[in-house]
Structure 1
Amino acid sequence: MDQAAAQRLLFAMLDADGDGVVSSDEYMARTRNVALATGRKEDDSLVVTARTLGERAWASMDADGDGGMTFDEYAAWAGAEAFDTVCAPVLGALFDLADTDQDGSLDASEFTALRTALNNPATNAEAAFEALDTDGDGRINRDDYIASIRAYVTGESSSMGTALYSRPLEDNPAQ
């Protein structure tokens, strides 16, 4: 999949209400949703870290400060540099929230909880877990997870990214 197609699918996932604009509330709901899915309280240090990194990410994405990001704004912003400097830290913090036993990896249920909280359908999350769990040990580590998403958003091959984002979002019960 090329980078532009990947960006469209990622933007659709971020645009939870489907109105063509990702709002600050939609973006910041990611941290709240993962915290709720994992039973963490708002003052949990991992939630605070994820929220702070999410706020920094949003400030970078919403360059004109109008509280909304269109696809064109997202496409102009997104890329390898933005991923490495802005997205990877946020994704890592959200991964840490989902890592309920704090062992540095996610099992299938933790991964599915994380990805459904981020607006991916459960069936996509399950398929993505299987695609990333290449050694079959039932665990996904943080570095492999982030590297797979980076590959997808930069237009490289990522079987996990394809599984997460390539199916219709209508399957998502949260929408």
Structure 2
Amino acid sequence: MPFPRTEPQQAQADHTTPKARIYAMLDTDGDGIASRDDYFVRIERARQATGRADDDPLVLVARAAGERAWAAMDANGDGVMTYKEYISWVDAEKFDTICQYALGALFDLADIDRDGTLDRPGFTLLRQALGNRADSAGAAFDALDGDGDGRVSRQEYLASIRAYVTGGTSPMGDALY
């Protein structure tokens, strides 16, 4: 006899914490639960926003990295990641071994000239595709572009997200969320 299916519970979170804010962004349909569809629509939005074809090698890399990340986040394979599952899962080690590759692959989609940096329009395009408002993305870009050269490197971008997720100082994270 099969076990009865229980419905995941919506997030009961303090939406001022970094993890809660990121989780809310992962929940693209706003139903309180981050599903597989929620997660992968972000990759599709980034693909469309950057004008890349379905079979573009960078899109394939982003999808593969997304598959690895989702498999780790949805360890029980039920197709959803509740807020409770997310906060008990995400930490510095998971960022370093899983998340940075998925996030880096999305950055690469927006890096049209493949120089390892994004200008303001590329950064804003990416962050809007991932669910942030344009004004927040602009403020985040300003926070990351410390030398004022009009470029944000992949390394700076990932380090700032890591800091935000793990409770460190992240002006970019503060601006985005």
> Normalized against structure 1, the TM-score is what?
0.91
Deviations 1:17-71 (A, max 9, x none): 1111111011011211111000000100000000000011000000111001110
SS of alignment partner, residue 97 of structure 1: helix
Matching residue within 137, 158, 166 for 1:146: 158
Q: Which residue does 1:27 correspond to in 2?
A: 39
Higher relative contact order (CA 8 A, sep 6+): 1
Q: Which residue does 2:90 correspond to in 1?
A: 78
In 2, distance between residues paired with 1:147 and 1:114? Answer: 17
In 2, distance between residues paired with 1:147 and 1:40? Answer: 26
TM superposition outliers: structure 1 runs of 4+ over 2 Å? none
Give ranges in structure 1 of 5+ residues lacking alignment: 166-175
SS of alignment partner, residue 34 of structure 1: helix
SS of alignment partner, residue 137 of structure 1: coil
Fraction of identical pairs, as percent = 59
In 2, distance between residues paired with 1:93 and 1:10? Answer: 18
Write the letter of the residue equivalent to 2:128.
T
The answer on 1:97 being equivalent to 2:97 is no
Q: Which structure has the bigger radius of gyration?
A: 2
In 1, distance between residues paired with 2:50 and 2:146? Answer: 25
Give ranges in structure 2 of 5+ residues lacking alignment: 1-15
Which residues of 2 match residues 46-125 of structure 1 at below 5 A?
A: 46-125=58-137
Shift of 1:136: 0.3
Deviations 1:149-173 (A, max 9, x none): 00000000000010011xxxxxxxx
Q: Give RMSD over aligned pairs.
A: 0.9
> Normalized against structure 2, the TM-score is what?
0.90
In 2, distance between residues paired with 1:91 and 1:18? Answer: 21
